Structure 1
């Protein structure tokens, strides 16, 4: 099957009244699913210390997050293809059921191993929810009108991601860490009930579709060591180098076998011809660049704010709010501009160029800028990257065609995950490398800071804090510059996407 080979299930255009009716029919059922996917990823952050203390797994506690991420990454193309073949609404119910089952397992887990099993189920269901939500919007609304719908989804996801840690902290304090997972069950039940409002449409595969099980296994065999290698590489220790190289070798072997399998499969998990189409390939690459730069920035920014700017933890957390606000504003603005003008990639190109300029401003001026001006630069960075989210998603959907909406949404989701992992590793390597080249003592202190978190800072001697502050000022200038280059590369790609209008 080739891109754009069947009629679009959505009408070619809609009147304002029809658009409003489509919104009321579909969005209330889709929004809770995307909110669950977002909250499920971040709600455990503030409960991790309590989980570690209860189950005795301090050194392995990061697996609570990593297990979810790995499973969600694997789920994206799986649910994308199953939704295309068997109906996206039907598969949304399956994903909700898996996510709820995972929450139940996690809430009742008697051991850390069982908890990780529950998190794998939650991640698999959550990855399916994120992918299917985007495809269901595309199924209900014509391409040109999708922009504002996708923007509402982006705003919902961003807001839920921000509220997740706050909600998790409140639940863990009031009801214990298990309350974090119990709370997901009524939310899943609500999402299930509202999803019944979504119009049911048949899939395109009929009875002849067969899931590429070998492809799923090989994809999992590639994703798992690849993400683990990228996570291990962020620590940049010589002792950990053999582990990183071994995981990378396993990922490379699995990737080679996966590509061979997908070329031969009748119903491939990853339709290589579709993914190699220039519009889809370049859109996914720019998505990886933009999202990766933003996630890398958010990952290391709290350390910079506390160690260089000298902010207390609460104030550092507040400085992250402009990033969430700007991203939501960028997505909404881009969506409305797409609907009014029909332009897609030019909006992303201009937005990412703005983000690159703002990041350069952060790189050179951040140490001396007052807090309000720094917050404004953060808003501009996330506003610019936010402009790329609905534009790239819809451009990929248009290029793929209605029969492949799920596969298209899955490819964008995977690009974001992989882009975030790679960019975080690259920016971390740039930070460590710049520190090590300038002052090995500062590099050693930063390595401790990454391992132990900002809570290390009050225990350092004044001379150590000053050494770290001076080294990080230079190192973060390089890291912010590196993030600017990534975003600029995304802008360059946006102008080279063949499909510029929707």
Structure 2
């Protein structure tokens, strides 16, 4: 058999245009559900704590999902490479829906937290496998356009989630924040089962259990540190012990993966400049993005006195900028030569948005805020899609899942760090600026929501302090984007890798369905 015919057999036939549309619709619904469940419970937490009598441990409801989804991301990506992404995607979606039922029916806080862990396991798989499936379904030159759609959905969900959580909690029950997943998820599951391409072969390599365990432990340590660092104390024995243990595990991971037959993170990815730089850029960009998406609504509600629903309306310019820039960047990204320019443009726009937000105060008008939000949204929208497309273009088809998982993992950790670091900066800055205020009336500088307990004459001072603390937090976040921009200057996007001939693809030994053989001079990962 000729090499050309072997290559033809090795490639998965592209589904017809109607099949692509159906598959993308299912994947978009799945990303929407998985992204919403990271934020939808935030406004429902007080009511959940009241109903389930668990105020002391209520933070675990959010942390459990983030921890589980981050920890399993690399494993889902690698298993998809080994055993076919469609069957793993269907399995992760089914786990997510079953866990959603368990969350909605939970009768105690420990039950809810356990169900959220299971839900995070499914949600993590849904997100990383969705990004990898795009590489299977569409041609390399079209990946950017479709990745842009998912990035827009993710950004919109980050803002819409808290609003939906508040509506369900006030009008129905907090349980509907979880049960609403069932009808939407069932449709997505049915469409995906019919439209996603099936894997053509199955790996006989052993699963990297040790590497998966070490990586999950690293993710657990990082999420616990970022989620509870401020609550437990950044210098407390628990946090310092977690940091030391996480660093030790990170050092251990490299030799563990080098010895694995089918490593969950192929060692070549550690030395690929494209993968490493893109992951670091994704980390800092997501840190800045979530600092904006999580805390700007808080600023609007506290300083401008708007409701949770109206704060979402005020954020619409940011959403508009995000969606439009994602769409345009996705179309431009079909030309590989433009990827770095798009990335630099997005990072610079994001940096400009942060610098503008660092000037806000208690008296900043909504019109001025809308302009700032629009610029910030444009920057936020252009970066994630380009990062994912750049990494996927640098690896062979057999490693799309693992490469997508690396970027998704870095972005998830970046989001957790961004929220934690900005929260610390905000609370510390607010406490410093209100240290001289009287505590009569129950005012607590560590809880800005108690501003209303202050005498009327002092509330203006406290609101101004909160606004300036928010602005200062964004100024302190700006250097991270400067560092990301510097990394982007040295990033050389590669032309998309093509499927290797069947005779060169190995399903045992060192790889899943195509081992990583080395790197090119520019750090681009090459498939064997």
Normalised by the length of structure 1, the TM-score is 0.88
Say if 1:442 and 1:471, in contact at 8 Å, map to a contact too. Answer: no
**In the alignment, does 2:149 pair up with 1:152?**
yes
Matches within 5 A, 1:126-275: 126-202=123-199, 206-235=202-231, 237=233, 241-275=236-270
Specify the alignment match of 2:407 in structure 1: 412
Specify the alignment match of 1:395 in structure 2: 390
**In the alignment, does 2:47 pair up with 1:53?**
no
CA, structure 1 residues 141+434, in 2 after alignment: closer, same or farther (shift >3 Å)? same
Alpha-carbon displacement from aligned partner over 1:188-209 (angstroms, at most 9, x marks no partner): 22111110233434266x3422
Find the partner of 1:112 among 90, 109, 133: 109
1:329 positional shift: 1.8
SS at match of 2:56: helix
CA, structure 1 residues 437+365, in 2 after alignment: closer, same or farther (shift >3 Å)? closer
Q: Distance in 1 between matches of 2:162 and 2:423?
A: 23
Q: Distance in 1 between matches of 2:452 and 2:491?
A: 49
Q: Distance in 2 between matches of 1:307 and 1:122?
A: 32
**In the alignment, does 2:371 pair up with 1:376?**
yes
CA, structure 1 residues 34+42, in 2 after alignment: closer, same or farther (shift >3 Å)? same
Tell me the C-alpha RMSD between the 2 structures: 3.0
CA, structure 1 residues 477+134, in 2 after alignment: closer, same or farther (shift >3 Å)? same
**In the alignment, does 2:41 pair up with 1:44?**
yes
Find the partner of 2:279 among 284, 289, 306: 284
CA, structure 1 residues 251+463, in 2 after alignment: closer, same or farther (shift >3 Å)? farther
SS at match of 2:243: helix
SS at match of 1:344: helix
1:175 positional shift: 4.2
1:369 positional shift: 4.0
**In the alignment, does 2:273 pair up with 1:298?**
no
Alpha-carbon displacement from aligned partner over 1:426-447 (angstroms, at most 9, x marks no partner): 33344455556666447999x9
1:459 positional shift: 1.5
Name the one with the larger helix percent: 1
Q: Distance in 1 between matches of 2:445 and 2:268?
A: 41
SS at match of 1:400: coil
Specify the alignment match of 1:328 in structure 2: 323
Q: Distance in 2 between matches of 1:473 and 1:27?
A: 41
Q: Distance in 1 between matches of 2:105 and 2:272?
A: 46
1:176 positional shift: 2.6
Q: Distance in 2 between matches of 1:386 and 1:471?
A: 30
Normalised by the length of structure 2, the TM-score is 0.84
1:363 positional shift: 1.5
Say if 1:103 and 1:185, in contact at 8 Å, map to a contact too. Answer: yes
CA, structure 1 residues 78+22, in 2 after alignment: closer, same or farther (shift >3 Å)? same
Q: Distance in 1 between matches of 2:57 and 2:434?
A: 31
* Structure 1 unmatched ranges of 5 or more: 1-5
1:87 positional shift: 0.6
CA, structure 1 residues 359+178, in 2 after alignment: closer, same or farther (shift >3 Å)? closer
Matches within 5 A, 1:64-75: 64-75=61-72
1:340 positional shift: 5.8
Specify the alignment match of 2:84 in structure 1: 87
Q: Distance in 2 between matches of 1:444 and 1:212?
A: 56
Alpha-carbon displacement from aligned partner over 1:279-334 (angstroms, at most 9, x marks no partner): 11111111111111111123332343344455555543433333333222221111
Alpha-carbon displacement from aligned partner over 1:361-412 (angstroms, at most 9, x marks no partner): 2223555542112111111112112101111111010112211111111111
Say if 1:83 and 1:406, in contact at 8 Å, map to a contact too. Answer: yes
Q: Distance in 2 between matches of 1:434 and 1:45?
A: 23
Matches within 5 A, 1:458-497: 458-462=452-456, 464-497=458-491
Alpha-carbon displacement from aligned partner over 1:206-225 (angstroms, at most 9, x marks no partner): 34222211222222222222
Q: Which moved more, 1:94-103 or 1:171-180?
A: 171-180
